[in-house]
Amino acid sequence: PRHAGRGADGALQLAGTDVRDLAAEFGTPMMVMDELDFRSRCQDFADAFGSAGQVHYAGKAFLSGRVVDWLADEGMALDVCTGGELALALSREFPAQRITLHGSNKSTAELTAAVRGRIGAIVVDSFDEIGRLAGLVESEGRNGADPVPVMVRVTVGVEAHTHEFIATAHEDQKFGFSLAGGDAAEAVRRILANSGLRLVGLHSHIGSQIFDPSGFEVAAHRLVGLLRDLLDEHPALTDTITTLDLGGGLGIAYTEEDRPPTADAMAKSLTEIVTRECQAAGLVVPTIAVEPGRAIVGPGTVTVYEVGTIKDVALDGRHTRRYVSVDGGMSDNIRTALYDADYTVTLASRSSDAAPVRCRVVGRHCESGDIVVRDCYLPADLAVGDLIAVAATGAYCYVMASNYNRVPRPPVVTVREGTARVMLRRETDDDLLRLEMP
């Protein structure tokens, strides 16, 4: 977090609050989110892309009612990918015009909510969906003067250098319409043939936790190429296709070695490419939209755990591995088990001058893959009862949390200028019982 430091006695301070006080008040494990860190990263993106761009926060990375309010305050747009995220945004009266709906298998109910809610755009992802939408605009009477704004999700054929599960623009995966195979152009034709739909943009998302900006650049280049071909075929579209959306995916630093590009660098290179190539083709330069999730919410959150057991396990005659077990684990952070993700962990309740010892931080769940941090160094005098903090857990941890082994989800607490407020309370045993039928 941008507002983290150590107090006089060495304990971790988050936005002017002492992590020991937070733990005493809210219990562990808990997630602590630095509000001004989140807001400042929204501002960084807004400043980087300027008035010619549009920044959508990707709600799938983390969403709560309070975060929706912050986004509204900051003038951000919001991407949702389910009816659940949409309903949350609308329940906080987030401006519908600034919402975009994504998803590779949207239900009729989700599409209906988006159409009735008059959101900014629906990003269509399949021919089936175009058919479903066509039926819907008919039954909702949304043709002629009042068409539904849509974008086409294009598979641009980029191999993003990231984990296989989170790369999304190579051909062999479920998202989007293939550019090379001609499906993207066909999707555009079908949309144009329907007076109830209005094509407002082209969309690409190449993957997540990306460090190499060239993938975005190739995607931008290919979307401009598609735009040029479309405008050749249908010159009247110049006024309606106003947006090229390059998706999310900007990586963040999880460890000291990670050097992700900045929002500024991303904005500069994308703006430069799109502007140059559109001008060369005689096109009006469209708005460049981006959809960062992780880069906004990831870095400003830490998960605080209490150490419960410490065990030295003999590996061979000469080596041991120290297993540090905490009171959470794969139910609040599945990313290590799922993507082999790496995190930085620190002793939070005090400082220590003891020598660093190689450790593995593991959770409380009933499987050996329940690892929070595979390899890290913690002081040799680490003791049961100490608090440790895992950094950069704001994105894709809480939202992917589960009740595995009937473990309640932790609370999420926001901190700002010395004040802490619960944003999402800890689940209780009663919460877990509420689905039971007699």
Q: Answer for the pair 49, 77: CB distance below 8 angstroms, yes or no.
A: no
Mapping DSSP to helix (H, G, I), strand (E, B) and coil, where does residue 272 land?
helix
Residue 248 in contact with ligand LLP, rule: CB under 6 A: yes
Answer yes or no: 366 catalytic.
Answer: yes
Q: Applying CB under 6 A, does 249 fall inside the site for ligand LLP?
A: yes
Tokens 């175009």 found at:
130
Site for ligand LLP in 419-438 (CB under 6 A): none
Q: Does 53 bind ligand LLP (CB under 6 A)?
A: no
42 binds ligand LLP (CB under 6 A): no
Contact 261, 270 (CB under 8 A): no
Q: How many angstroms separate the CA atoms of 267 and 290, rounded?
A: 9
Interface characters, 296-325, with ligand LLP (x: CB under 6 A): ------------------------------
Stretch that binds ligand LLP, among 25-33, 84-92, 193-201, 291-299 (CB under 6 A): 291-299
Give φ, ψ of 278 to 5 degrees. -70, -45
Catalytic member of 81, 359, 366, 376:
366
Residue 204 in the binding site for ligand LLP (CB under 6 A): no
Quickly count: other Cβ atoms within 10 Å of residue 224's Cβ. 23
Would you say 293 is a known binding-site residue?
Answer: yes
- Is the distance from CB of 168 to CB of 205 less than 8 angstroms? yes
Instruction: Give the binding range for ligand LLP (CB under 6 A) out of 87-95, 241-249, 276-284, 429-437.
Output: 241-249
The answer to the question of whether 339 is labelled as a binding residue is yes
102 binds ligand LLP (CB under 6 A): yes
Comparison of 61 and 415: residue with beta carbon closer to ligand LLP: 61
Segments in 28-64 forming alpha helices (H): 35-49
Question: Of 128 and 164, which has the nearer Cβ to ligand LLP?
Answer: 164
Residues 328-357 that bind ligand LLP (CB under 6 A): 335, 339
Which 371-400 residues touch ligand LLP, going by CB under 6 A?
395-396
Angle at 260 between CA 257 and CA 266, to 5 degrees: 165
Does the footprint of ligand LLP cover residue 211 (CB under 6 A)?
A: no
How near is the Cβ of 163 to ligand LLP at its closest, in Å? 7
What is the Cα–Cα distance from 393 to 32, expressed in whole angstroms?
9
Q: What share of the chain is helix, strand, coil (3-state, %, to 5)?
A: 35, 25, 40
Residue 106 as a binder of ligand LLP (CB under 6 A): the answer is no
By CB under 6 A, name the one of 55, 78, 295, 304 that touches ligand LLP. Answer: 295
Question: With binding defined as CB under 6 A, does residue 58 bind ligand LLP?
Answer: yes
Q: Are 133 and 197 in contact (CB under 8 A)?
A: yes
Q: Does 247 bind ligand LLP (CB under 6 A)?
A: yes
What are the CB-based long-range contacts (under 8 Å, 24+) for 130-139?
130/187, 130/190, 130/191, 130/194, 130/197, 132/106, 132/108, 133/194, 133/196, 133/197, 134/194, 134/196, 134/197, 136/108, 136/111, 136/112, 137/194, 137/196, 137/197, 138/196
Taking alpha carbons only, the member of 285, 399, 413, 305 closest to residue 359 is 305
95 is in an annotated binding site: no
Which residues here bind ligand LLP, judged by CB under 6 A? 58, 60-61, 79, 102, 166, 205, 208-209, 247-250, 291-295, 335, 339, 395-396
Binding-site residues from annotation for pyridoxal 5'-phosphate: 249, 291-294, 396
Q: Which residues are catalytic?
A: 366
